[in-house]
Amino acid sequence: MIKNTLYKAIDAGANELKRYFNGTFTISSKATINDLVTEADHASEKAIFEVIQQNHPEHFILSEETGSIPSQSSIKWIIDPIDGTINFANGIPICCVSIGIEENGEMIMGAVYNPFMNELFFAEKGKGAFLNDQPIKVSTKNDLLTSCLVTGFPYQYLDTENGPLQIFEKLIRKSIPVRRLGSAALDLCWTAAGRFDGFYEHKLQAWDSAAGFLIVQEAGGKVTDLKGNKYNPYQPGIIASNGQIHDQLLNLLLGGNL
């Protein structure tokens, strides 16, 4: 029942993305000038809420634009109505709807859908990860120097030791390809599918990673925080990889060298 609702909800949100994409819609800024929210974000969120609340009105909801709609339920829906809003606002089709489902503090199901590439990623805890119903697995590379990585940068730069620019510089000085697509949810899914060997980011919110990190794990990958501890989407830093290069990437983020 919950799985069916998840599919209906993510499809409802994606329909709003398709309806507004490359059209005319309002855009405003949140905390910083390039931290955007659009009319489409709100429309997608509303469509998702309607599906969830029609089928499971008792469930807890946490969503990027509205925040928390609390309840006493053990089940929480964690929603990003558009992950990659800047891409969406500029007509770049690297964006998606991301929905994770948590039960008693453990992620049990997640879906990420990019309707412009017709790619729906899905995972259920203990049952594997899928792209359009076909099983996916992480890559098998075991050397960071030959890996293809992806990252993102926060809207408010973290001026700390081993911050985003310092790590990026270390990697590119070794000629390691590092991409920046602008959607953490898709970065995680593409790591799960073996397109990237690893992903790291210093500052995310729970709705950015809740679905994607489960998809990586169910595809056979490894996900930790920036200190190598068990990943918790309510803290900011993340490393997700195929598992083979994880320790090398972790060492770099802890201040080591290549």
Domain ranges of the chain: 2-135, 144-253
Cα 122 to Cα 99: distance, rounded to the nearest angstrom = 10
Which tops the pLDDT comparison, 1 or 220?
220
| SS3 annotation, the chain | CHHHHHHHHHHHHHHHHHHHCCCCCCEEECCCCCCEEEHHHHHHHHHHHHHHHHHCCCCEEEECCCEEECCCCCEEEEEEEEECHHHHHCCCCCCEEEEEEEECCEEEEEEEEECCCCEEEEEECCCCEEECCEECCCCCCCCHHHCCEEECCCCCCCCCCCCHHHHHHHHHHCCCCEECCCCHHHHHHHHHCCCCCEEEECCCCHHHHHHHHHHHHHCCCEEECCCCCECCCCCCCEEEECCCCHHHHHHHHCCCCC
**pLDDT tens readout for residues 101-144:** 999 999 999 999 999 999 999 999 999 999 999 999 999 999 99
- pLDDT given for residue 236 in this prediction: 93
How confident is the model over 59-85, as a mean pLDDT? 96
Q: Give the pLDDT score at 157.
A: 67
Specify the pairing of strand 75-83 against strand 60-63.
parallel
The predicted-structure confidence for 154-176, as pLDDT tens digits, reads as follows 877 667 778 899 999 999 999 99
Q: Class assignment of domain 144-253? A: alpha beta
Q: With bands split at pLDDT 50, 70 and 90, how would you rate the model's confidence at 63?
A: very high
Burial 101-120 (b: 16+ CB within 10 A, else e): bbeeeebbbbbbbbbbeebb
pLDDT at 86: 93
CA separation for the pair 175, 145 (Å, rounded): 8
Residue 61: pLDDT over 70: yes
| Sign of the torsion angle spanned by Cα atoms 224, 181, 84, 202 | positive
Q: What is the mean pLDDT of residues 175-197?
A: 98
Is residue 80's pLDDT more than 80? yes
Which residue would you say has higher pLDDT here, 56 or 163? Answer: 56
Once rounded to an integer, what is the mean pLDDT over residues 227-235?
Answer: 97
Residue 177 has pLDDT above 90, yes or no: yes
**The CATH number of the domain covering residues in 2-135:** 3.30.540.10
Give the pLDDT band of residue 215 (cuts 50, 70, 90). very high
Q: Which of 97-111, 146-160, 219-233 has the lowest mean pLDDT?
A: 146-160
